[in-house]
Amino acid sequence: MSEELLSYAVDPAEEENERQEIVRLLARSDLDYEIGVEAFVVFRLARRLIACAGLEKNVVKCVAIDPDWRGEALGLKLLTEIVHLAHERGHVHLFLYTKPDNVDFFRCCGFYPLAVVPGTVALMENTPVGIQSYCNQLKKLRQPGDVIGSIVVNANPFTYGHRHLVEHAAAHSDWVHLFVVAEDVSLISYRDRFQLVKAGIEGIPRVTLHPGSEYMVSRATFSAYFFKEKGIVGDCFTAIDLLLFRNWIAPALGVTHRFVGTEPFCRTTHKYNADMMHWLRADVSVSPAIAVVEIPRSEQDQAPISASAVRRLLRAGDFSTIAKLVPPTTLALLQSKYRIERPTAA
């Protein structure tokens, strides 16, 4: 078979016929096509598509082999080609999504399990020490106490609503660990968001501010979050992200509680909050349960404060209203760097 086997890379955005064939092959393997995939490696035998593997940044996904051609030899060839493509694109640390039944095979290929949802999906990475090294760094920042809170924010941008959430968590915890989502795909850059959070929580005691990581609300763990404004929500998969937090990150820091604000606007974030109630509860994992504390959003003029509202006001150039919703440091940055110029009348 190897002499007749043809392999090459496909850009699904430019090659619609190839994309449709990939969609059909994935369907035969009970897999969905994911729009975030930027490139595929495909294998053809006598013009027939028999295998594919997709790459979204450093995440390998949409891996499928035609049922008539499944075997370790072809699987290894496919994985070798997609890893090679990832390296060509500058990605060394890789994540891989697969079905739980395939974990042992990919382990033999140099990938190691991070989180497994039985019967559904598993996330793996191509290093045996990646997440353990990250957690070892977190352990150095562990604080004593019976109630150790945690918050994860995107802060796009940081608002008075975010500050209210941190103040509430700090008032009801012995210590709070605050993480800023690291993916740089929001309107406000990660570097700016981190600095806005740092300035915005000034004066709140017993809070450690952490940079984000690939192990928390990232393209690897929760890619649907970053397509929410395009209306691509569907049945967002949050279990992997929450299990990583519960099984690895929370034990490293001794986290007992996770604080969130109510979400009346975004379906993706609303579902994420609801899923926390399931995946962080006692009977889902052998790791200690984490209490989820959902507090009402703070309001301004009888309307919940949200970053999405601030972005809408920014597009409209309404800085007088924005000033009511965000700290002065956020307002100053939006005015100086993120002001949207509108065409002047002729």
Give me the residues of the chain with pLDDT under 50, please.
1-2, 225-236
Do 47 and 83 contact (CB within 8 A), yes or no?
no
CA angle at 116 for the pair 112 and 273, rounded to the nearest 5°:
125
Q: What pLDDT, on the 0 to 100 scale, is given for residue 198?
A: 98
Cis (ω within 30 of 0) for the bond into 12? Answer: no
At 131-187, the pLDDT tens digits run: 999 999 999 999 999 999 999 999 999 999 999 999 999 999 999 999 999 988 889
- HSE at residue 24, side-chain half, CA atoms within 13 A, is 9
pTM over 0.95: no
Separation between Cα atoms, residue 43 and residue 75, nearest integer Å? 11
Separation between Cα atoms, residue 277 and residue 271, nearest integer Å? 10
Q: Where in the chain is the domain with CATH 3.40.630.30?
A: 5-128
β partners of residue 259: 293
Tell the CATH topology of 5-128.
Answer: Aminopeptidase (3.40.630)
Q: 131-337 belongs to which CATH class?
A: alpha beta
Closest alpha carbon to 68 in 51, 52, 81: 51
Q: What pLDDT, on the 0 to 100 scale, is given for residue 226?
A: 36
Neighbours of 95 (CB within 10 A): 25
Do 123 and 96 contact (CB within 8 A), yes or no?
yes
- HSE at residue 66, side-chain half, CA atoms within 13 A, is 13
Q: What pLDDT, on the 0 to 100 scale, is given for residue 264?
A: 75
Neighbours of 317 (CB within 10 A): 12
Q: What pLDDT, on the 0 to 100 scale, is given for residue 223?
A: 57
The set of long-range contacts for 132-140, using a CB threshold of 8 Å and a minimum separation of 24, is 134/213, 134/215, 134/248, 135/248, 135/249, 135/251, 135/252, 136/252, 138/210, 138/249, 138/252, 138/253, 139/252, 139/253
Q: Where in the chain is the domain with CATH 3.40.50.620?
A: 131-337
Do 151 and 141 contact (CB within 8 A), yes or no?
no
β partners of residue 50: none
Separation between Cα atoms, residue 338 and residue 334, nearest integer Å? 5
Instruction: Specify the 3-state DSSP secondary structure of 282.
Output: helix
DSSP assignment letter at 224:
G
The residues, any chain, with a CB within 8 Å of residue 174's CB and separated by 6 or more, are 143, 144, 145, 146, 147, 148, 206
Q: What pLDDT, on the 0 to 100 scale, is given for residue 225?
A: 40
